[in-house]
């Protein structure tokens, strides 16, 4: 493994550990435990296990370790801890580092479960949380105090695709001594440079683009070796949110093709967004890669491209949105994203159903909003399908 390798090479080879059989494809170590040669050896491992020594799969497993090392290499992070799901990663990263009396500043526009963790769970244990408009740097600055230990945000917010300036928010947070935790799912590891831009901790739901084929749940927390092994690992290994070896294998194979998939999906997403811009049936086409996106300069600087997801605000509200969804022939109505299959979601009635109306209004989750995760189908077919479904309204 060379530090000079480009991302595409690291995505294939970084972290590989071969067994004595010299297998080409990474082995799945479907074992929960490991055998010790002697009682003394067992005692020694429990005292201080070395980097290539495993005790119990909740603590670590060779297949899981390959995934952790490969994604850490890709992200430019010192270390990584793989988790059972994206939410195990979000909740584990926050809970492991916070204690009663600490203060967190978070962007308001969040995935529903992230909002639940910050608003309902952390506060139950005496952590104070302030929510701000993530695009408003003055609001971030005003909310931070010397008690602020962490700031948290999704770098591209779901489903309105507002982009938060990692560099600027990190500068403000670091001035207060707070850590910056970024849920980077919509940016994807392919278009991420979050650590170089100032993030201390980067979190992915591997369920999304890393698997990319809708098969397995997983997540990962990336950061310094100190943070991952000193703060996250003790919490995760004792509370049980570790990734299974089988899912780690699915994610390892996903990493091998991720760049090809995500770049193709992003190119199609731009193609579709451009074709729909100005359509008479739409109030708005929201896609970070469009020149018309309010933060297009920031998108260029931070991600280079617009990602794989776009949102349409369809004229005619919920009725029209439902007619549109029901007329789609290629994409499926579901709620995952980053999948090889195009997936359409109506956030107001599904993923964000439980948000009170005033919150939906603040976040721009209108009754006509439809989120589309662009898949790997032919872009011309996708455009034709979306246009015929808009016509069907
Ligand atoms: C999907 C998602 C999560 C949660 O991931 P799971 O793997 O479903 O637990 C967290 N944050 C964002 C932005 C997501 O899209």
- pLDDT tens, residue by residue, 61-79: 999 999 999 999 999 999 9
CB of 390 closer than 6 angstroms to any ligand 1 atom: no
What ligand 1 atom has the least distance to the C-alpha of 207?
7
Q: Is the pLDDT reported for residue 265 higher than 70?
A: yes
Substitution candidate for ligand 1 out of 110, 117, 185 with most atoms within 8 A of CB: 185
Is the distance from CB of 15 to CB of 69 less than 8 angstroms? Answer: yes
CB of 184 closer than 6 angstroms to any ligand 1 atom: no
Cα 113 to ligand 1 centroid, rounded to whole Å: 8
Of all residues in the chain, what percent are helix, strand and coil, respectively (each to 5)? 40, 15, 40
CB of 205 closer than 6 angstroms to any ligand 1 atom: yes
Nearest CA to ligand 1 atom 11: 111
Per-residue pLDDT band for 2 (boundaries 50, 70, 90) equals low
Q: Is 191 exposed, middle or buried (0-12, 13-18, 19+ CB in 10 A)?
A: buried
Residue 60's contacts (CB-CB under 8 Å, 6 or more residues apart) are 54, 237, 242
According to the model, what pLDDT value does residue 51 have?
65
Cα 116 to ligand 1 centroid, rounded to whole Å: 12
* Arithmetic mean of pLDDT, 337-346: 98
According to the model, what pLDDT value does residue 220 have?
98
Asked if residue 159 has a cis previous peptide bond (ω within 30° of 0), the answer is: yes
Cα 184 to ligand 1 centroid, rounded to whole Å: 10
Substitution candidate for ligand 1 out of 118, 183, 208, 337 with most atoms within 8 A of CB: 208
CB of 134 closer than 6 angstroms to any ligand 1 atom: no
Is the distance from CB of 42 to CB of 36 less than 8 angstroms? Answer: yes
* Arithmetic mean of pLDDT, 264-277: 98
Segments in the chain forming alpha helices (H): 7-13, 39-47, 62-75, 86-97, 112-116, 137-143, 166-175, 225, 233-239, 245-276, 296-302, 317-327, 357-363, 379-392
According to the model, what pLDDT value does residue 52 have?
73
Residue 223's contacts (CB-CB under 8 Å, 6 or more residues apart) are 77, 78, 79, 80, 200, 201, 202, 232
Is the distance from CB of 82 to CB of 218 less than 8 angstroms? Answer: yes
What ligand 1 atom has the least distance to the C-alpha of 337?
15
Residue 263's contacts (CB-CB under 8 Å, 6 or more residues apart) are 190
Cα 93 to ligand 1 centroid, rounded to whole Å: 14
Cα 211 to ligand 1 centroid, rounded to whole Å: 13
According to the model, what pLDDT value does residue 231 have?
98
Q: Rounded to an integer, what is the distance from CA 105 to the centroid of its chain?
A: 19
According to the model, what pLDDT value does residue 48 have?
77
pLDDT tens, residue by residue, 204-236: 999 999 999 999 999 999 999 999 999 999 999
* Arithmetic mean of pLDDT, 44-71: 89
Tokens 């193609």 — which residue?
Answer: 271
* Arithmetic mean of pLDDT, 169-191: 97
CA dist 151 and 165 (Å) reads 13
Which letter does DSSP use for residue 52 in this model? Answer: T
Per-residue pLDDT band for 24 (boundaries 50, 70, 90) equals very high
According to the model, what pLDDT value does residue 252 have?
98
Cα 100 to ligand 1 centroid, rounded to whole Å: 26
| Pairing label, strands 309-314, 128-132 | unpaired
Q: Which two tokens stand for residue 184?
A: 């980077």
Which residues does residue 363 pair with via DSSP β-bridges, in sequence order? none
Q: Is 277 exposed, middle or buried (0-12, 13-18, 19+ CB in 10 A)?
A: middle
Cα 99 to ligand 1 centroid, rounded to whole Å: 24
CB of 343 closer than 6 angstroms to any ligand 1 atom: no
Q: Is the pLDDT reported for residue 245 higher than 90?
A: yes
Cα 241 to ligand 1 centroid, rounded to whole Å: 15
Q: Which two tokens stand for residue 236?
A: 């995760």
Per-residue pLDDT band for 273 (boundaries 50, 70, 90) equals very high
CB of 309 closer than 6 angstroms to any ligand 1 atom: no
| Pairing label, strands 332-333, 309-314 | unpaired
pLDDT tens, residue by residue, 123-156: 999 999 999 999 999 999 999 999 999 999 999 9
Share of the chain above pLDDT 90, in %: 92
CA dist 381 and 393 (Å) reads 19
Q: Is the pLDDT reported for residue 391 higher than 70?
A: yes
pLDDT tens, residue by residue, 81-107: 999 999 999 999 999 999 999 999 999
CB of 93 closer than 6 angstroms to any ligand 1 atom: no
* Arithmetic mean of pLDDT, 7-36: 95
Question: Taking the model in full, what pTM does it have?
Answer: 0.97
| Pairing label, strands 201-205, 219-223 | antiparallel
| Pairing label, strands 179-183, 219-223 | unpaired
Nearest CA to ligand 1 atom 7: 86
Q: Is the pLDDT reported for residue 317 higher than 90?
A: yes
Cα 87 to ligand 1 centroid, rounded to whole Å: 6
* Mean pLDDT estimate for the chain: 96
Q: Is the pLDDT reported for residue 351 higher than 70?
A: yes
Q: In angstroms, what CA-CA distances link 155 with 223, 287, 299, 346, 354?
A: 16, 14, 10, 21, 23
Question: Angle at which helices 62-75 and 245-276 pack, to 10 degrees?
Answer: 30
Share of the chain above pLDDT 70, in %: 98
Domains of the chain: 7-254 (3.40.640.10), 259-392 (3.90.1150.10)
């Amino acid at each position: 493994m060379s530090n000079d390798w480009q991302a595409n090479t690291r995505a294939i080879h970084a972290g590989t550990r071969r067994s004595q059989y010299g297998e080409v494809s990474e082995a799945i170590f479907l074992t929960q435990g490991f055998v010790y040669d002697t009682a003394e050896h067992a005692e020694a491992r429990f005292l201080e296990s070395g980097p290539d020594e495993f005790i119990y799969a909740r603590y670590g497993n060779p297949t899981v370790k390959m995934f952790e090392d490969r994604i850490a290499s890709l992200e430019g992070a010192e270390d990584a801890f793989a988790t059972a799901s994206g939410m195990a990663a979000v909740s584990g990263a926050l809970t492991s580092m916070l204690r009663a009396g600490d203060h967190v500043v978070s962007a308001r526009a969040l995935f529903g479960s992230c909002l639940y963790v910050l608003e309902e769970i952390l506060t139950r244990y005496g952590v104070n949380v302030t929510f701000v408009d993530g695009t408003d740097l003055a609001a971030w600055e005003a909310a931070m105090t010397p008690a602020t230990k962490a700031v948290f945000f999704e770098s591209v917010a779901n489903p309105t695709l507002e982009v938060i300036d990692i560099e600027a928010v990190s500068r403000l947070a670091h001035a207060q001594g707070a850590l910056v935790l970024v849920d980077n799912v919509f940016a994807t590891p392919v278009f991420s440079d979050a650590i170089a831009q100032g993030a201390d901790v980067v979190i992915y739901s591997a369920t999304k683009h890393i698997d990319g084929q809708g098969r397995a749940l997983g997540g990962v927390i990336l950061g310094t070796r100190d943070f991952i092994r000193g703060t996250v690992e003790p919490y995760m290994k004792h509370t049980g949110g570790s990734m299974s070896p089988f899912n780690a294998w699915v994610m390892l194979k996903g990493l091998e093709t991720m760049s090809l998939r995500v770049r193709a999906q992003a190119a199609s997403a731009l193609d579709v967004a451009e074709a729909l811009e100005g359509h008479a049936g739409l109030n708005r086409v929201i896609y970070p890669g469009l020149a018309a996106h309010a933060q297009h300069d920031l998108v260029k600087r931070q991600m280079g491209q617009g990602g794989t997801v776009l949102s349409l605000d369809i004229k005619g509200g919920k009725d029209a949105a439902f007619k549109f969804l029901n007329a789609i022939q290629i994409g499926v109505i579901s709620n995952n994203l980053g999948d090889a299959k195009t997936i359409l979601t109506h956030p107001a009635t599904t993923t964000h159903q439980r948000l009170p109306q005033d919150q939906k209004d603040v976040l721009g989750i209108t009754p006509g909003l439809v989120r589309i995760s662009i898949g790997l189908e032919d872009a011309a077919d996708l455009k034709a399908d979306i246009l015929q479904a808009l016509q069907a309204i």
